[in-house]
Each structure stands twice: as C-alpha cells, then as structure tokens.
Amino acid sequence: MKQLLEDLHALDTLFDRPEKWTKGGYAFRTDGRPVRYDDPTATCYCLLGGIYHVTEYIERSSEDRANELLDAMRPVIVREYGMHVIACFNDHEEIAFDDIKSVIAETRRCYER
C-alpha cells in the first residue's frame, strides 16, 4: 500500500497544473505531436499516460504498479462518474482537469484510511 500511495502522490505531482493533462493520446510534446508516455520530450499526459509514466509501466506485464493504480482508481471513477473505462473517462467531453485531480485525491483518501 505504501507504493500505491507514493504512486498516487507522484501522479498528483505530475498533474500539478492543467497544461500537464490532455485528452486523445497518452502523451504529447509542446509542439502537439503525440509521443509515448515514457518519451522524455512529453510535456502533457492523459490520465492513463500519466499512470504509465509515474509507474514506469512495462507493457504486457501482468503484475505491475500501473495495474494496481488503475485498480485503485477505477472504483472512484465508477462511483463518481459512472464510467468503467479510464480512457473513456479521461476523453469524455464533460471531464475537465479538476475531475482528474478529484479522482486522484479521492483515491488517496480511500487508501490513507
């Protein structure tokens, strides 16, 4: 659980301002070109890209920190927004930066108890 809370803190820190969050791709450079979440030129991330970035996600790994973080956040997203797919939640037209920050904060509260 300590690692999960550290990853939530890292995700909250990554999304320290609205310009660091995006829709429509895992990550983008300042010129708007899409890049992988682990590209050092990435300047903004969708929620899933941010999760992959802070957990140093390794594709096709069945036991990784990214999956633990996704599993922790999913119930909050379902309860608060009625959505089951994190990418759909992130990219939904009514979702804003404050919603992303709220999900991160609520997930932290659930695990800090």
Q: What is the pLDDT of residues 28-42, one digit of tens each?
A: 999 999 999 999 999
Q: How many domains does the chain have?
A: 1
Q: What is the pTM of this model?
A: 0.93
Q: What is the pLDDT of residues 4-15, one digit of tens each?
A: 999 999 999 999
- Domain range for 52 is 2-112
Q: Looking up tokens 């920050």, which residue turns up? A: 101
SS (H, E, C) the chain: CHHHHHHHHHHHHHCCCHHHECCCCCEECCCCCEECCCCCCCCEECHHHHHHHHCCCCCCCCCCHHHHHHHHHHHHHHHHHCCCCHHHHHHCCCCCHHHHHHHHHHHHHHHHC
Q: What is the mean pLDDT of the chain?
A: 94
Average of per-residue pLDDT across 71-75? 97
